[in-house]
């Protein structure tokens, strides 16, 4: 009995001890729970709210650019880059300093990111550095746990396989400006987003850009992505298929680069398709996407050949004697001359007490229209111009595409200038003088044209008088941009044929100014017109001392021009060449035109349709992970 009572007491004590221990534990748990819910409740409620869904923007892939055969001219390459989201870092500057210890980041990059952060929303990712190597990517990835707010992203970087050869055509892309960000378009807030700055990249930027997609992503409290819940893919930009022949572009680059500064255009006289367009010197367009140093920028700007300017469409030059076809056409159409009208050239033309010199000091003797074109007699056109008048000349010049923009694909296109009586009165407040008409008749004075306009003029003269216009873009996506239906200018075929005969004799007659530059192959024979545009007039004193234009400094020498077409019997290709300060059109520009017209006929792009099925012709680009940017929470 005694034993039983003792056991009962021991059991009771143990029960009480265990119960007290359990009660103590419950009190501790209850206290902890009260502390979490009451004292720290607000804090954890805030943190839990942050573990939610973010809407991330997916950057669209920029459309590609192809030549007429499906050869890529502008593509997108993979670009590994490191981003930082300011709101997910304790201190942005410290986070960048940590990152700087892992990979090479310049102080200017850090200053740039800090500046961007000060004017952007805290949740917008900022690009710290792009074009990371695999080693740099691995170095950052390994240390990501210690780098809150930092992430590696796979984006795209624009690349131009043909570099210099197509630089002025494709143009390049550049970073978004503050003004563009302020427009409110959310796509401009994507890290590293680029927009077109020159060339077709600029002219077709919205079509090439595409539209952004979105992804619903669950993230945790420190901003790490937990899972992707839903994705809406954006639309990639539309591809452009051009009329350009990339291999012809390479040849044009090689040929024109032999001059200090030159430009040329080759186009189809019937459709207007541009097969080649080049301005030399040019530049490596990839420098603007991979990083252009200040020294290189200064070098490009200081180059007297103006490599950043697309002189083929924006260079404005007096047309010189290439304008004589306009004067001849106006005189024929208005009935001031016939084929048999002759003018005697003693080497000058006197009018109102002023003497206007022909380029040939001894004179050409008796000239008719065809021989005046072939031998480029200035005196012949001086005399007939006084009857025609400047306004009539201007009207025919504009019919042939001179003196105004041609609605070309490139926004850099310049309008040129075709003066009139009203134009001079409006600009200078002075009356037009007959002597100004005389110098205008041979393409001097106020006249300004572009190589693109000169090629268009030539095409309209030899295609039967159709108002053809030049164009570069054949397809946006798979939608054609032109139907080749050009209006007729209502010009006399007889008169056009007569001018064509004069242009043929320029090259193929022994007395022609470009006979030395003729194409020997009769099936490819070209016709054309030489031109020399005066930059600075030789004074009477210099003339008496025997000073020649070639004796002047390069920047003061005449421009050399040539316009031509081929083949003579069945015109298909028109070409315009301008050699800046090249001197004589027959010596400097005509040989280049001969080589270009020979090359384009050998390749004969007009006989082959523009290539459409780019998927089999284009080189494949790497698979890319869409870029994501948190836009709102």
Question: Tens digits of per-residue pLDDT, 530-554?
Answer: 999 888 776 666 666 665 666 678 8
Check pLDDT > 60 for residue 619: no
Q: Rounded to whole angstroms, how far apart are CA atoms 276 and 546? A: 40
Secondary structure E strands in 126-188: 126-129, 150-159, 173-175
- For residues 426 and 551, what is the distance between their CA atoms, to the nearest angstrom? 38
Q: What is the residue whose two structure tokens read 């007889």?
A: 494
User: What is the β-pairing status of strands 262-268 and 573-579?
Assistant: antiparallel
Q: Give phi and psi for 463, each to the nearest 5.
A: -100, 15
Kindly provide the residue ranges of all beta strands, DSSP E only, lying in 160-261, ordered along the sequence: 173-175, 194-196, 213-219, 225-232, 240-242
Give the residue numbers annotated as catalytic, written as ranges.
Answer: 321
**What residue ranges of the chain are covered by domains with CATH 3.40.710.10?**
246-604
Does an H or E element contain 22, and which? helix 2-34
- 246-604: which CATH topology? Beta-lactamase (3.40.710)
288: its two tokens: 């603007």
Task: Name the more confident of 421 and 49.
Answer: 421
Q: Given the DSSP bridges, would you call strands 240-242 and 65-66 parallel, antiparallel or unpaired?
A: parallel
| Domain 54-243+620-632 architecture | Alpha-Beta Complex (3.90)
> In 10 A of CB 277, how many CB atoms?
28
Pick the residue with more confidence: 45 or 128? 128
Residue 440: C-alpha distances to residues 83, 99, 358 (Å): 60, 66, 14
Residue 33 has pLDDT above 50, yes or no: yes
Q: Look over the chain and give the mean of its residue pLDDT values, rounded to a whole number.
A: 86
> Band of the pLDDT at 622, cuts 50, 70, 90?
very low
Examine the pLDDT at 229 and tell me if it is beyond 90.
no
Phi, psi of 273 (to 5 degrees): -60, 130
What sections of 377-514 are H helices per DSSP?
Answer: 378-388, 390-399, 421-428, 434-440, 451-462, 493-508
DSSP3 helix / strand / coil % (the chain, rounded to 5): 40, 20, 35
| C-beta separation of 313 from 408 below 8 A | yes
Of 15, 404, 387, 476, which Cα lies nearest the Cα of 207?
Answer: 476
DSSP labels for 315-343?
Answer: --B--GGGGHHHHHHHHHHTTS--TT--E
Instruction: Identify the residue whose tokens are 């012949």.
Output: 380
Determine the length of the chain: 633
Which tops the pLDDT comparison, 401 or 234? 401
For residue 11, is pLDDT > 70? no
* 307 burial via Cβ count (<10 Å: 0-12, 13-18, 19+): buried
pLDDT at 268: 97
- Taking phi first (over 0 means left), then psi (-120 to 50 degrees means alpha), and beta for anything else, what does residue 197 get? alpha
Residue 439: pLDDT band by 50, 70, 90 thresholds?
Answer: very high
In the chain, CATH 3.90.1310.10 sits at 54-243+620-632
The pTM of this model reads 0.82
Q: Which two tokens stand for residue 423?
A: 């134009």
Using the predicted structure, report yes or no on whether residue 465 has a pLDDT greater than 90: yes
Percent of the chain with pLDDT over 90: 57
- pLDDT tens profile 334-383: 999 999 999 999 999 999 889 999 999 899 999 999 999 999 999 999 99
Instruction: Name the phi and psi angles at 514, rounded to 5.
Output: -120, 25
Under 8 Å between Cβ of 393 and 420:
no
Tokens 């004969």 belong to residue: 604
State the DSSP code for 224: -
């Amino acid at each position: 009995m005694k034993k039983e009572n003792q056991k009962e007491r021991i059991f009771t004590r143990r029960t009480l001890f265990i119960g007290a221990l359990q009660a103590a534990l419950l009190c501790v748990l209850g206290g902890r729970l009260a502390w979490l819910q009451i004292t720290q409740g607000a804090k954890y409620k805030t943190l839990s709210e942050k573990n939610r869904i973010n809407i991330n923007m997916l950057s669209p892939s920029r459309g590609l650019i192809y030549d007429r055969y499906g050869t890529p001219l502008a593509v997108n390459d993979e670009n590994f880059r490191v981003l930082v989201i300011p709101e997910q870092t304790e201190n942005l500057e410290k986070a960048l300093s940590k990152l700087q210890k892992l990979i090479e980041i310049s102080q200017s990059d850090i200053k740039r990111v800090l500046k961007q952060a000060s004017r952007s929303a805290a949740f917008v990712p900022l690009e710290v550095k792009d074009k990371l190597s695999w080693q740099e990517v691995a170095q950052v990835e390994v240390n990501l746990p210690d780098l809150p707010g930092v992430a590696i992203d796979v984006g795209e970087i624009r690349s131009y396989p043909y570099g210099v050869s197509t630089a002025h055509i494709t143009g390049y892309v550049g970073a978004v400006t503050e003004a563009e960000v302020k427009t409110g378009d959310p796509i401009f807030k994507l890290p590293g987003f680029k927009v077109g700055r020159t060339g077709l990249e600029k002219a077709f930027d919205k079509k090439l850009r595409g539209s952004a997609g979105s992804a619903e992503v669950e993230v945790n409290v420190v901003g790490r992505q937990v899972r992707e819940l839903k994705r809406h893919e954006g639309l990639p930009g539309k591809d452009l298929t051009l009329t350009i022949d990339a291999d012809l572009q390479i040849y044009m680059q090689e040929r024109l680069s032999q001059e200090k500064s030159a430009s040329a255009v080759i186009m189809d006289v019937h459709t207007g398709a541009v097969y080649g367009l080049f301005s030399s010197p040019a530049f490596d367009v990839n420098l603007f996407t991979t990083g252009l140093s200040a020294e290189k920028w200064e070098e490009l700007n200081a180059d007297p050949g103006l490599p950043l300017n697309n002189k083929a469409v924006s260079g404005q030059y007096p047309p010189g004697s290439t304008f004589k076809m306009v004067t001849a056409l106006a005189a024929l159409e208005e009935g001031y001359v016939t084929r048999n009208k002759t003018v005697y050239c003693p080497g000058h033309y006197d009018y109102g007490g002023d003497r206007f010199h022909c380029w040939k000091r001894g004179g050409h003797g008796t000239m008719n229209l065809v021989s005046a074109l072939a031998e480029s007699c200035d005196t012949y056109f001086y005399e007939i111009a006084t009857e025609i008048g400047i306004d009539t000349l201007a009207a025919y010049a504009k019919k042939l595409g001179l003196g105004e923009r041609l609605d070309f694909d490139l926004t850099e296109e310049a309008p040129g200038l075709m003066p009139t009586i009203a134009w001079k009165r409006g600009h200078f407040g002075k009356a037009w003088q007959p002597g100004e008409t005389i110098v205008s008749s041979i393409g001097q004075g106020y006249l300004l044209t572009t190589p693109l306009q000169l090629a268009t003029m030539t095409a309209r003269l030899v295609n039967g008088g159709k108002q053809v216009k030049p164009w570069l873009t054949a397809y946006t996506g798979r939608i054609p941009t032109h139907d080749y239906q050009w209006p007729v200018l209502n010009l006399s075929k007889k008169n056009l044929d007569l001018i064509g005969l004069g242009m043929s004799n320029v090259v193929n007659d022994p007395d022609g100014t470009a006979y030395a530059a003729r194409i020997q192959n009769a099936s490819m024979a070209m016709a054309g017109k030489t031109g020399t545009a005066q930059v600075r007039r030789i004074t009477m004193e210099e003339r008496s001392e025997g000073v020649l234009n070639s004796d002047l400094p390069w920047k003061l020498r005449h421009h050399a021009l040539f316009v031509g077409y081929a083949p003579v019997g069945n015109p298909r290709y028109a070409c315009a060449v301008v050699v800046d300060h090249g001197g004589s059109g027959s010596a400097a520009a005509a040989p280049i035109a001969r080589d270009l017209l020979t090359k384009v006929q050998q390749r004969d792009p007009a006989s082959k349709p523009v290539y459409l099925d780019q998927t089999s012709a284009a080189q494949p680009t790497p698979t890319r992970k869409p870029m994501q940017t948190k836009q709102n929470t």
